[in-house]
Structure 1
Amino acid sequence: MQNMEQEVNLARQGDREAFIRLFRKLEPELYSLARTIVRRDEDCADALQETTLKVYQSLHTLRKPQYFKTWVIRILINECNQLLRNRSRTVAMPDVPERGTGDRYYENSSKLDLIEAVNQLDESLRIVVHLFYFQDLSVKQIADVLDISGGSVRARLHRARGILAETVKSTRGGKLAYDNI
């Protein structure tokens, strides 16, 4: 974590290479989170681009470098939500299902079962599960990012685990691949 803080401090002082290194390090996690929320590759790319721009422009406002990752995640979630709001205002042609570049992080088929089950969750549960299990954020960090209480985060995690357990029982006889996600 100290390395990230040093990179953030360098980026805040105007080091563009440090900023690029920070985003390259976070890009797979950010893309995965954006994909969880907006579900379309082109929207993920738009959300990441807007997030990168906003973070770069307002990096000087970040008070504590150790919170850089959660700060960026909060900006990304806001951008994804804005895209969803804009999407709901437009009438679109039906999407043709395709296996795009977003699947490159999940090429191992044993991981797909759990990821598909998580993707079936309601958005509020799906985001909390993703942040807790895939992004390794603490309950407090998730509460800060989503601007909800720690108790709400724990309740959503509990509810999501229950739904996932029922999904496992009904679809695979209690056997769901979840190793090495």
Structure 2
Amino acid sequence: MFRKNLKEVKVLEQEEIITLAKWGDKEAFAKLMYERKDVLYKTAYIYVKNKEDALDIVSETVYRAYSSIKKLKNPEFFNTYVTRILINCAVDMLKKKKVFVNDNEIVLLSKTSKDENIEENIDLYRAVDLLNDKYRTVIVLKYFRDMSFEDISRVMKCPIGTVKTYLHRALKTLRINMACPEE
């Protein structure tokens, strides 16, 4: 029971900080972003495979989130709100730059993964990059961010059934692309 109360207190504290940020408290907003900086950066990096671009995406995400935080209706959906902004920023950047994958950066990212073969990681990241935006987003949120279907549906603003369909189709496409990689 004591653990449950501590968890409830943390949730209440988090919601209070979010509410303060909505009211314009810059320190509260900075604290929220600081707590999420690593997850935001890693998610951005998965999209663009480039340190500088990932940092630009995070910066743009923070700016957009700060500019529009007053529109956030429910503090409990703050993570979803920020993730949605980040994905939009990443997709916008990819569309503007038409980024091509740099193999050296993929290898660096792959070295952080201890149990997998580097070549398999490179092939996987390339295959994920080939997916359309909706499928890529579902894969990134489900497997790289470990989000639930419910959270993904909030981020993508679509029904849970649609998220599951996107995931099924994305995995099917990945299996095909991984079995027969494009030359």
Aligned-residue offset at 1:15:
2.7
Aligned-residue offset at 1:103:
3.5
Could you say which residue in structure 2 is the equivalent of 1:64?
A: 74
Report if the CA contact (8 A) 2:44-2:57 is conserved: yes
Which is bigger in relative contact order (C-alpha 8 A, separation at least 6)?
Answer: 1
Runs (4+) off by over 3 Å: 94-100, 111-118, 159-170
Could you say which residue in structure 2 is the equivalent of 1:12?
A: 22
TM-score normalised by L of structure 2: 0.71
Count of residues in correspondence between the two structures: 165
TM-score normalised by L of structure 1: 0.72
Q: Distance in 2 between matches of 1:39 and 1:80?
A: 11
Question: Structure 2, unaligned stretches of length 5 or more?
Answer: 1-9
Question: Structure 1, unaligned stretches of length 5 or more?
Answer: 171-181
Could you say which residue in structure 1 is the equivalent of 2:46?
A: 36
Report if the CA contact (8 A) 1:47-1:76 is conserved: yes
Could you say which residue in structure 1 is the equivalent of 2:114?
A: 109
Aligned-residue offset at 1:169:
8.3
Could you say which residue in structure 1 is the equivalent of 2:147?
A: 137
Indicate yes or no: 2:65 matched with 1:51: no
Judging by fraction of residues, say which structure has more helix. Answer: 2
Report if the CA contact (8 A) 1:36-1:127 is conserved: no
Could you say which residue in structure 1 is the equivalent of 2:164?
A: 154
